[in-house]
A and B are shown apart, each in its own frame.
Chain A
Amino acid sequence: MAVNIELTYGKKLGLPEYSSHNFSVSLKAEVARLEDVPGEVERVYQILQASVDGQIVNAGFVPGQEQPAPAPKNDAGNDSRPWKCSDKQKALIVKIVAENKLDRVEVEQLAVSRFGHGVALLNKLEASGLIDELLGKTGRSSTKKTGAFRPFEQRRAA
């Protein structure tokens, strides 16, 4: 018998002048057995937390500020949010996802699984690992002259 679970993760952050903003995301999932619930909850929690953290950094209108903060775009491929990795890494991740028609949710899950947070929050070290893994999954090697984007035998130093 399938078991349906519904999970919600939310966060409330304080803003200047005694104000705050909060954001929550809910998700429904189905597992085959009751024993699978803890594992699924752990997995979904990571996804939800990464999703909320990735968005809540955009505070929008903040009391006391003259201009409202720009609203973020929803399209991850044209994401204007600041990423923690380098611009080149961001561009490469977006390119790999687009060219290989990868599921963005799965890529986000992969980042959460490996590093504990979503793609936009990966630092340069973590982004390097994600890029390596994405290229491995897509069976491609980069044409860039960089070690991490090529198989071992092409990466050795003299």
Chain B
Amino acid sequence: MSAQSTVFRSGSLDESKPGDPLAYISASRLKSFLACRLKFYFEKVLGLKPPASPALQVGKAVHAALQSYNLARWRGGDASPAATLQAYDKAYGELEAAEPVDYGDSSRQDSIDTGSRVLDAFLGSELARDPRRVLGVEAYLRKESGDLPLPLVGVVDLVVEGNVPVDYKTVAATPNLEDEGWQHEVQLVAYNLLLRDATGEEPGPGELIYLVKLKSPKAIRQVLPPVTQTQVDRLKALADVYVDGVSREDYHPSPGMSCRWCSYRTQCAAWAGSKARTTVSLAA
């Protein structure tokens, strides 16, 4: 995940709760593990949850609104901007009630308005009037293991005609598309494998829709190149690395740039090479 982007649901499963990390793999689990094994341990294995940031909160509520919008388009419901913004407000309140948000120096109302503005920009753009037939919204997919060491699961924001996976990203600044394509490779290759398994057909190239939270918000679509066999092999190799590391409970910190915005620095500081010591410290 890039520093400027706020990507919330790369796997979109209920991975906020602790679970058996060897039950399945998802793009979210893989990316988290590969970025920092200790953070993965805190987040996915122990289920430690820091307060949500305003950006995370806005991103989740915007995604909920887009889910409502796409379901309405698909099933013949109310897909008007008013109904979509209403869904956004409702989701914002429900998410906030379920999980505290640390607003820090920022204003709650500013966060709410940021999400409304970016939704408005999307709904007013050509991207919202995509003529392609909807095939799935928040589509849960599971591919049993076989050529992968564990079952692969994922939830795709939107699938349109041609078995094209579409994923929404709320970002703080205009994205560098080349960087973003690189950052989201694991997710889109995973979606390709999942859709190929689910439909028996070759999926279309993945698409990312960035909702840019500028003062003048905008929506940008990026069509990624077709997934190559090398990318598929690479994902499988990364899945092997994941299973090997998790099986050995090899969770260690990866000091780097991403520590700047990591929420687990306090817990991380207690790590001294012993998983047992870390666990005792966290329990205390």
Contact = CB atoms under 8 A, between A and B. Distances in A.
B199 A157 contact: no
A147 B135 contact: no
Contact of B198 (A115, A124, A132, A147): A124
A154 B98 CA distance: 10
B43 interface: yes
A152 interface: yes
Contact of B14 (A115, A123, A128, A147): A147
Nearest to A144: B140
B170 interface: no
A154 B12 CA distance: 9
B251 to A, nearest CB: 16
A30 B44 CA distance: 57
A118 to B, nearest CB: 16
B258 interface: no
Given A148-B140, A152-B64, A153-B94, A123 B10 contact: no
B155 A148 contact: yes
Most chain B Cβ neighbours within 10 Å, of A84, A114, A147: A147
A28 interface: no
Contacts, number: 97
Q: How large is the interface on A (under 10, 10 to 19, 20 to 34, 35 or more residues)?
A: 20 to 34
A101 to B, nearest CB: 22
A147 B99 CA distance: 18
Interface string B135-153: 1111111100000000001
B142 A146 contact: yes
Contacts of A154: 14
Interface string A138-158: 000000011111101111111
Nearest to B13: A147
Contacts of B271: none
A84 B64 CA distance: 30
A133 B137 CA distance: 10
Contacts of B206: none
A85 to B, nearest CB: 9
Interface in A71-124: 84, 86, 114-115, 123-124
Interface in B260-275: none
Contacts of B153: 146-147
Contacts of A128: 136, 139-141, 198
Closest 8 CB pairs of A and B: A148-B140, A124-B198, A125-B198, A158-B16, A147-B155, A147-B140, A157-B15, A157-B28
Interface of B: 8-16, 19, 26, 28, 43-44, 49, 60, 63-64, 67, 74-75, 91, 94-95, 98, 135-142, 153, 155, 159, 163, 195, 197-200
